[in-house]
Amino acid sequence: MTGHDIGMAGGEQAAALAPVRAYLLRGARAEADRILGQARSQADQALRQARSDAEQAVRQARAEGEAQAAPAAAAERARGRERARSTVLGAQRQACEDLRAQVLAAAGRLRDEPDYERLMAGLSALATSAAGPGATVTADPGGGVLARSDRAVVDCSLPRLASLAVDALGDEVRELWAS
């Protein structure tokens, strides 16, 4: 073949190869479309999986957060109940102290009553009897008497008797808070 034959052969070859080239291009495009479709399908699947994983992670984090918060919330409720209980007990204690102060004040006012001398005579007899033979009886500065003997000291002072009276109320005082 001469150079001229080769040139002509190249053009003829190109024309002869055109259907093959077109066929190969169609195959390459089809393969590219198939690969692109597969890639899109895989990307869609990966996106769906990522969304599912993210939703699962959010659900798990929420559940873990709630589980971790539950003891803290329970502890806070317990602290609230304890504060409320402490407040109620403090108010009850204050009310009891107020009642005791009122009873002590009322007992102190007995010294100004016309029958106080008769009350003193009765308290002296009671204290002397309780202290036993040889007891000495003295007036208490707060009202009432003290009796002392070799075997006992009997406190029939008005403050002591008022305090005992409040203590004797016991559960009856607690009923005041319930009403």
Give the model confidence (pLDDT) of 72-121 as tens digits. 888 889 999 999 999 988 888 888 888 888 988 998 899 999 999 999 99
Residue 107 burial (C-beta neighbours within 10 Å; 0-12, 13-18, 19+): buried
Where do the structural domains in the chain lie, given as residue ranges? 3-178
Categorize the per-residue pLDDT at 176 as very low, low, confident or very high, splitting at 50, 70 and 90: low
CA 92 to chain centre: 23
CA 39 to chain centre: 54
Whether the predicted pLDDT of 152 surpasses 90? yes
Q: Average of pLDDT values for 131-159?
A: 94
CA atoms of 128 and 137, how far apart (whole Å):
7
Q: What percent of the chain has pLDDT over 70?
A: 89
Give the model confidence (pLDDT) of 16-53 as tens digits. 877 777 777 687 677 767 887 887 888 788 889 989 98
**CA-based end-to-end distance of the chain:** 127
- The two three-digit tokens of residue 96, written as one number: 């009891």
Give the pLDDT confidence score for residue 38 in this predicted structure. 83
Categorize the per-residue pLDDT at 10 as very low, low, confident or very high, splitting at 50, 70 and 90: low
Full-model pTM = 0.54
Maximum Cα–Cα distance for the chain, whole Å? Answer: 163
Q: Report yes or no: 147 and 124 within 8 Å, Cβ to Cβ.
A: yes
Which residue's structure tokens are 């559960």?
171
